Amino acid sequence: MSEPVLPDGVERREFDGTERLATRGDPVYGEPTDGEWRAWNPNRSKLGAMLELGLDTGLAGGETVLYLGAASGTTVSHVADFAGPTYAVEFAARPVRDLLDAADSRDQLFPLLKDARKPETYAHVVESDVDVVIQDVATRGQARVALENGRFLADDGRLLLAVKARSEDVTREPAAVFEAVREDLSEGYEVLEANRLEPYHADHLGIVARPR
């Protein structure tokens, strides 16, 4: 594994004798804390795993972010700790209640109860030319979701995509699923880097891409 390139606002700090990624912010999911710092668990965060595995995410800190598949806020709360305006799209009402709690202490975090497969429903809220689209949506057609939401991404922006093979097609080998998703993505993106997310997440692929 290569040494991860960390954005400003993300550091390696020691928690209970173990060095871990951390951001500054109020705790969200029972993670260990040390003063104002909170541990970032890569076993619960695809983006955290990408950073741990050394993928060059291009994140520097302060970016405008569109986060697709925010769930209850585990990862997007860490993102909002170091990023700029962070739009958090989640389809299910129950986790959005937890997401709202995470946003209480994060003025730059904007929860949206919307379907990431229908970006037209939040196009009036999300600013154009966001710096980063982060996607963790467990559904069929994950490449299509990324392509449809490419409308929000700046020309020099980045897509950080976590592909879940079993959500795409449970009957196929993950390697075949990942290859198909990469081929579909090529309609609108150039893949810069891709890496399996083991040992943190089984049958997941992390992709860093930019618009064509």
Annotated binding-site ranges for S-adenosyl-L-methionine: 74-75, 90-91, 115-116, 136-139
Strand partners, 33: 38
Residue at 181: amino acid letter: V
Could you tell me whether strands 10-15 and 109-113 are parallel, antiparallel, or unpaired per DSSP bridges? unpaired
Which residue is listed with tokens 């202490």? 105
Q: Is 195 helix (H, G, I), strand (E, B) or coil?
A: strand
Both structure tokens of 151: 């409308």
Q: Which residues are annotated as a binding site?
A: 74-75, 90-91, 115-116, 136-139
Q: Are 77 and 55 in contact (CB under 8 A)?
A: no
Helix extents (H) in 115-190: 142-148, 165-168, 174-185
